[in-house]
Structure 1
Amino acid sequence: MPTPLFAYRKYWAECFGPAPELPMSRAEMDALGWDSCDIILVTGDAYVDHPSFGMAVVGRVLEAQGFRVGIIAQPDWTSAEPFTVLGKPNLFFGVAAGNMDSMINRYTADRKRRNDDAYTPDNVGGKRPDRAVIVYSQRVREAYKDVPLIIGSIEASLRRIAHYDYWSDKVRRSILVDSRADLLLYGNAERAVVDVAHRLAAGEPISQIRDLRGTAFVCKKLPADYRVIDSTHLDVVGPVEPLLSPYVDTSGPSCAEGGPEAAATGECGVELMDPAGTGAPSTATAVAAVEAEPVTLLDRPREAGPSVIRIPAYEQVRDDPPLYAHASRILHKETNPHNARPLVQAHGDREVWLNPPPIPLSTEELDWVFEQPYTRLPHSSYGEARIPAYEMIRHSVNIMRGCFGGCTFCSITEHEGRIIQNRSEDSIIREVERIRDTSKAFTGVISDLGGPTANMWRLACKSEEIEAKCRKLSCVFPGICKNLNTDQTPLVHLYRRARAVPGVKKVLIASGLRYDLAVETPEYVEELVRHHVGGYLKIAPEHTEDGPLSKMMKPGIGTYDRFEAMFNKYSQAAGKKQFLIPYFIAAHPGTSDEDMMNLALWLKRHKLRADQVQTFYPSPMATATAMYYSGRNPLHKVRREGEQVSAVRGLSQRRLHKAFLRYHDPDNWPLLRTALKKMGRANLIGNGKVHLVPPRQPAKRHARVPADARPFATQHNGLPRNPARRRR
């Protein structure tokens, strides 16, 4: 077992004690009595000393180990000078893009540039570069080329191997190669970063740190003591030999006994299954007789010693989409920290090596991480500037990490893991009390008790032995695993205890709710509906049709109906008028125009009108992104002639799918009418309840201009200005 985070011997600099806030300038370092920083963290976010912000967590965890940690937040990347503001660190630079991927932060799902950034003071956009980890790393190398460079954050974590890049529409190399970093830490990485810091402080070169879980690095050749397993032996890509029919009578003479004449005339009596998988038998014309031999599994040979799985090289997945889907499937199968094996992927003459995922933090360790001396405030240098992301979560409490849902469009599992890491109830309540006692803006409302998912706290496999062997991508798809403990009564007790804290008026649940789990504990649904919903509850069925849902790994719409009935029942019993706000995704791989039409009809029957529409965003390393790029389904064994998955690529079709979700918007009616006619569904055009869109556009009404308004032209048109209005 790994060393607990709180059991390391402290570094000598612990004598300085914890800083009121981690320094961002030389003046702050001088005030703390520091002559230098041991570790400097570079981030694309504003520095907010709150446990919901990654750099604050990493910084405070390292500080608790005795290291002096400085922060360079949102530096000007046009030169190397801003990266020297704190001087040269004694141990290493840590580079991160921030809480969000810099490309997703900067661009919409339609590749349009955003003008704002919720993680920047006053919501100003453009304060971080595209592909921030690569750009920051290059500037750090330019400033101090001999200092160890370690990259992390979700941007680096999801780009640790060759990956499809939606914004350039091509497969890019591992971010390790482009950033020239010494080491990549993926996931939340507290274990890895603490271990690396202590080993570097002890004088160990970073080039020799190669055995650490949750890390990736570039090497020129593989260790000699490792046995290499070709991943295509685990998951065959290519033509498949016909299978022997299980219904054939094999008691007759073999081809060998009948001689070549029997083989030539097809009298062997052996049938082969149709290679296409239809099950139609065909008579073999030639079959070689062999004696039965024991079967040896290719991925578990008898040779002793460590093994590493070689997935297809960058050049192969770049040029061969089925191999990309295959590599994605292997990567996701090797995410259980208890049975995952190292992976290696060639990039030219170099190898990118991925160590297995880290062992999840224990409850005691996670409590220790969240109970560091965070100020829960933005850095004082920002003054009165507003940081929207902070304002949204400043009175929220994170109670767990990880997600075993396995939704293919989401990357939480690849980043935080499938095994839930839980905080203790006492630690959570202490944080609620700390918010009450220290926040001047606290009005008595805790905005959220949750995490990646609202109701997975303390849910786990019933058997540690089964959990250690399991390679399933989801514990709840296609149905809830019989080995999963779904009892949410401990969460009910936590909610009741939190709202009983003196000074707390309301505890809201804002994190995403797994309603398929919630219905397994009706007491939980009742507690949630009666006391923790602020009028609206957001849940995400994502779609209504089985085709897209199977590609998303989401439950059928019948489960939503079951939850809705319980929600309405308990709301009515509580005398409250409350509403469910369902979220749906447009343009997900495997979604047809007909699927979106049926979803629109479902929305109309239920009298739901979507205000905002979520369009599928192909984020790096997600399984759905592999479907989008390759046209294959990596949820099953990948075959070149196997299942094809349609991808909604063109902007016009993406707009159509979004229009179906907003069928009630008159601006979308012309597009929908044209599409319905092409689909042969003109019967849905009309003014009745069974129709989706009316046959004509509504009359346009001119906007009324108030008498005191000042009209202006949106662009110069060379015409004289409008005369001023007369006062009445």
Structure 2
Amino acid sequence: MKNKNNNFKKNVQAELENPRDQFMVISKADMAKRGWKKLDFIIVSGDAYLDHPSFGTAIIARVLEDAGFKVGIIAQPNWKSTRDFKKLGKPRYGFLVSAGNMDSMVNHFSVTKNRRSYDNYSPGGESGHRPDRATIVYSNRLREAYGDIPIIIGGIEASLRRFAYYDYWDNSVRRSVLFDSRADLLVYGMGEKQILKIAENLEAGLDIKYINYLPGTAFIADELESLYDYQLLPSLTEVKKSKKQYAYAHKIEYLEQDPVRGQQLVQQHGNRYLVQNPPAEPLAQAELDHVYSLPYQRDYHPVYEKDGGVPAIKEVKFSLVSSRGCFGACAFCAISFHQGKMVTARSKESLLQEAKKIIQLDDFKGYIHDVGGPTANFRQPSCSAQSSRGMCKTKECLFPTACGELEVDHQEYFSILRELRNLPEVKKVFIRSGIRFDYLLEDQNSDQYLKELAAHHVSGQLKVAPEHVSEKVLTAMGKPKIEVFDQFRHAFYQVNQELGLEQYLIPYFISSHPGSRLEDAVELAEYLRDINHHPDQVQDFYPTPGTKATAMYYSGYDPQTLEEIYVAKSREAKKMQRALLQYHKKENKQIVRKALKMAGRKDLIGYDKKALVQPTH
């Protein structure tokens, strides 16, 4: 990804007189300072503008700028009219639309469908700065404002809604977001490669309707005569009519998300077709290093200072993204459907250079908050064969047990951590993005690395995610057996005892995940009792677009086996399972008693050590 004009950045920055002007263009005044009369691309985002590589808008803007394009950002426009969408004028090549770093519906609603009062990605944390289903609303406003202008949608919301999908919030199957948004092209996954190719084609004068061949994109076709070697999915009509067909469609979508062996997928929507090209290849290490070396200001735009800033910057400002992709394949997680399963990582040199930039920030206090990615200790492909044949189609790397071909090596990761913590002014380097304890235990040097982890990279508590204890539920989740977590738990406390440290594991658990019956929730409650852990927070399963577990939730079938699976859907059933995980709370006592009676476990109501609650007085 080289600049087409190597002097572009130097020429622009020479004209700038203060740090504020080093942010991307957000106003006509910014354009005037650069002497620009027209922008090449305008990004419309549902988030406030944070110029940090943890945010997709900043990355895409900087990548395009680095390639020589003039880019502006319209952050959180008022969607009730077209006025804000016109504030930077009409771009030369097109609009790029994203709902932001988070699906707008997840951003707005809790799992109980109550509207949230706080928005981490808005000025002052204030909610109400973006519409529901922001990708659709923004794109349609742009059509209203500018008519037939290229509109490309991307980001997590568009990426995970590219096929016909179950929408939890209106409890129905909706058509691909491409149809509702009336956009020309959808970029899915991590979009740097796709967006550069699109930009180059548009600059060369190619009509957007002919830019339909790029990996990592989806488009709408009127007919299929020009396509070949594609796989036809059950149509929109079929997946709306049959829940088993919905599960089958998701199975194919999931299996073909591979840049090496993935097929082109087609899904009929009425008299037209949604066409998804195979996934784009992940960035190579040198490309990834380059993306993260671009001149991000690593903060929110100063225009938000009057509102107290943007809260989302706090967790990432002093953190390092070290990798992308995840071969963990948890059923409830959308990363494999968005970033992909192939892991790519930045070089040690790149991470050290970014850390040195962080150290120079005025508000740096000596703590690097995280060095990770989707899974912090995944730094390499799971096996050497992936580059030639892709990921395995019929088996997972870590589930139900580690594959015999799995290549495990934490040496480089911990060498990076050592060099980071030895930098001047760095007091401690934490790992907050989570580690896969089963992967760590597969390392022949796991004892050594666990000791180093406990001694240097834990801030009193290490968060891990066993998620459940029931073997049936763990199978539905794609997670290892609880015995693996127990092995890690015992090893962690043993290491801390040897080091003379008082540190704790904070395990995360999910209630009401597909496959979890009431008796499974009781089993989990008993486990929590036995390990003397009382979780303050429990995540009730949240059906979000693009995950295997959401397909289970809606259809009642496991997409992998197409066998029926139990799903707790009623408010009472979900409340019981959640309450059992927090049986110790006074406000849960009554419903826990009811749940135990319903599960035939009155033996857990009493006064002895095994009891979860006491009888009603």
Aligned to 1:278: none
Which of 154, 173, 190 does residue 188 from structure 1 map onto?
190
Q: Is the 8 A contact 1:14 1:65 kept in 2?
A: no
3-state SS of the aligned residue for 2:61?
helix
The alpha-carbon distance between structure 1 residues 80 and 451, as it changes in their structure 2 partners (threshold 3 A), is: same
- Give 1:203's match in structure 2, choosing from 196, 202, 205: 205
Q: Which amino acid aligns with 1:551?
A: A
Whether 2:4 is the aligned partner of 1:9: answer yes
* Number of the residue aligned with 1:629: 554
Other structure's SS at 1:494 match: helix
CA distance in 1, matches of 2:145, 2:583: 54
Q: Post-superposition shift, 1:520?
A: 2.1
Amino acid corresponding to residue 218 of structure 2 in structure 1: A
Written as runs of structure 1 = structure 2, the 5 A alignment for 1:499-648 is 499-521=421-443, 522=446, 523-636=448-561, 638=562, 643-648=563-568
State how far apart, in whole Å, the 1-side matches of 2:144 and 2:565 are: 44
Distance 1:549 1:428 in 2: 35
What's the secondary structure of 2:267's corresponding residue? strand
Q: Give the equivalent residue in structure 1 for 2:352.
A: 429
* Structure 1 residue runs without a partner (length 5+): 227-306, 698-728
Question: Equivalent of 1:666, from 574, 578, 586?
Answer: 586
**In structure 1, C-alpha distance between the alignment counterparts of 2:432 and 2:295, rounded to whole Å:** 25
Whether the aligned pair in 2 keeps the contact of 1:542 and 1:583 (CA below 8 Å) is yes
Q: Distance in 2 between matches of 1:342 and 1:210?
A: 12
**Does the Cα contact within 8 Å between 1:459 and 1:486 map onto a contact in 2?**
no
Give the match for residue 480 of structure 1: 402
Residue-by-residue CA offset, 1:579-608 (whole Å, 9 max, x unaligned): 000000001000000000010011011111
Query: How much has 1:23 moved relative to structure 2?
Result: 1.1
Q: Which moved more, 1:523-532 or 1:352-361?
A: 523-532
Secondary structure of the equivalent of 2:312? helix
1:151 to 1:372, Cα distance in 2 relative to 1, 3 A: same
Greater helix content: 2
Instruction: Report deviation, 1:60.
Output: 0.3
* Displacement after TM superposition at 1:162 (Å): 0.1
Give me the whole-angstrom Cα distance separating, in 1, the residues matched to 2:126 and 2:386. Answer: 48
Q: Deviations over 1:646-689 (max 9, x none)?
A: 11111111111110110001111111112212222111111211
Choose which of 150, 153, 172 in structure 2 pairs with 1:151.
153
Return the letter of the residue paired with 1:651: R
CA-to-aligned-CA distance 1:21-40 (integer Å, 9 cap, x gap): 10111111111111111100
Distance 1:577 1:418 in 2: 36
1:609-639 deviation per Cα after TM superposition (whole angstroms, max 9, x unaligned)? 0101101011112111111111111122x3x
Structure 1 residue aligned with 2:265? 343
Q: Given the two structures, how large is their TM-score scaled by the length of structure 1?
A: 0.82
* Aligned partner of residue 383 in structure 1, secondary structure: helix
| Alpha-carbon distance in structure 2 between the residues aligned to 1:473 and 1:215 | 26
Counterpart in the other structure of 2:65: 63
| Aligned amino acid, residue 396 of structure 1 | S
Name the count of aligned residue pairs: 606
- Of stretches 482-491 and 147-156 in structure 1, the one that deviates more from structure 2 is 482-491
Counterparts of 1:246-395 in structure 2 under 5 Å? Answer: 307-384=229-306, 385-395=308-318
Q: What is the alpha-carbon distance in structure 1 between the residues aligned to residue 558 and residue 150 of structure 2?
A: 40
Take 1:690 and 1:604, find their aligned partners in 2: how far apart are those partners?
A: 8
Q: How much has 1:170 moved relative to structure 2?
A: 0.5
Kept in 2, the 8 Å contact 1:461–1:467? The answer is no
Counterpart in 2 of 1:94? Answer: 96
Shift of 1:15: 7.7
Q: Shift of the alpha carbon at 1:17?
A: 3.0
Q: How many Å apart are 1:516 and its aligned residue? A: 0.2
Distance 2:565 2:207 in 1: 47
> Could you say which structure has the larger radius of gyration?
1
Instruction: Classify the secondary structure of the residue corresponding to 1:432.
Output: helix
What SS does the aligned partner of 1:360 have?
coil
Partner amino acid for 1:568? Y
Contact 2:95/2:152 (CA < 8 Å) preserved in 1? yes
Q: Which residue of 2 aligns with 1:23?
A: 25
Q: 5 Å matches for 1:481-500?
A: 481-500=403-422
Tell me how far 1:10 sits from its aligned partner.
Answer: 4.1
Q: Distance in 1 between matches of 2:54 and 2:102?
A: 12
Structure 2 CA distance for partners of 1:677 and 1:41, relative to 1, 3 Å: same
Residue 124 of structure 1 pairs with residue 126 of structure 2: yes
| Per-residue Cα deviation, 1:53-102 (whole angstroms, up to 9, x for no partner) | 11000000000000011000011100011100000000110000000000
The answer for the alignment partner of 2:17 in structure 1 is none
Question: What is the SS of the residue equivalent to 1:388?
Answer: coil
Task: Return closer, same or farther for 1:16/1:84 CA change in 2, 3 Å cut-off.
Answer: farther
Distance 1:692 1:539 in 2: 24
The answer to whether the 8 A contact 1:192-1:214 is kept is yes
Matches of 1:545 and 1:337 in 2, distance apart? 34
Aligned residue for 1:660, secondary structure, equals helix
Give yes or no for contact 1:446–1:508 (8 Å, CA) kept in 2. yes
> Aligned equivalents of 2:603 and 2:402: distance in 1?
39
Partner residue in 2 for 1:269: none
Look up the equivalent residue of 2:180 and give its one-letter code: D
Which SS does the other structure have where 2:463 is aligned?
A: strand
Whole-angstrom distance in 2 between the partners of 1:436 and 1:225: 52
* Cα distance change on mapping 1:498 and 1:11 into 2, 3 Å: closer
Rounded Cα–Cα distance in structure 1 between residues aligned with 2:548 and 2:424 = 45
Per-residue CA shift, 1:436-480, capped at 9, x if unaligned?
Answer: 01x111011000001111100124313346643621463111111
CA contact (8 A) 1:42 1:73 kept: yes
More displaced stretch, 17-26 vs 561-570: 17-26
> What letter is aligned with 1:670?
Q
- Name the structure 1 match of 2:18: none
For residues 531 and 486 of structure 2, the distance between their equivalents in structure 1, rounded to whole angstroms, comes to 11
Structure 1 runs of 4+ aligned residues shifted over 2 Å read 8-19, 462-470
Pick which of 451-460 and 496-505 moved more: 451-460
Residue 690 of structure 1 and its aligned partner are, at CA, apart by 1.0
Write the distance in 2 (CA, Å) between the matches of 1:467 and 1:519. 27
Return closer, same or farther for 1:597/1:397 CA change in 2, 3 Å cut-off: same
Question: 1:16 Cα shift?
Answer: 4.7
CA distance, structure 2, for counterparts of residue 167 and residue 221 of structure 1 = 32
**Matches of 1:620 and 1:677 in 2, distance apart?**
35
Match of 2:339 in 1: 416
State the Cα distance separating 1:218 from its structure 2 match.
Answer: 0.4
Deviation at 1:52?
0.4
Alignment counterpart, residue 402 of structure 1, candidates 325, 331, 350: 325
Are the counterparts in 2 of residues 14 and 67 from structure 1 also a CA contact under 8 Å? no
Corresponding residue for 1:695? 615
What are the Cα deviations for residues 264-305 of structure 1, in whole angstroms up to 9, with x where unaligned?
xxxxxxxxxxxxxxxxxxxxxxxxxxxxxxxxxxxxxxxxxx
Q: Name 1:266's counterpart in structure 2.
A: none
170-179 or 381-390: which moved more? 381-390
Equivalent-residue separation in structure 1 for 2:180 and 2:501 (angstroms)? 55
Q: Partners in 2 of 1:17 and 1:484 — Cα distance?
A: 47
CA distance in 1, matches of 2:261, 2:251: 16
Counterpart of 1:564, as a letter, is: R
Amino acid at match of 1:193: I
CA-atom RMSD, angstroms? Answer: 1.4
- Cα distance in 2 for partners of 1:667, 1:623 equals 33
- TM superposition score normalised by structure 2: 0.96
Secondary structure class of the residue paired with 1:456 = coil
Give the corresponding residue for 1:172.
174
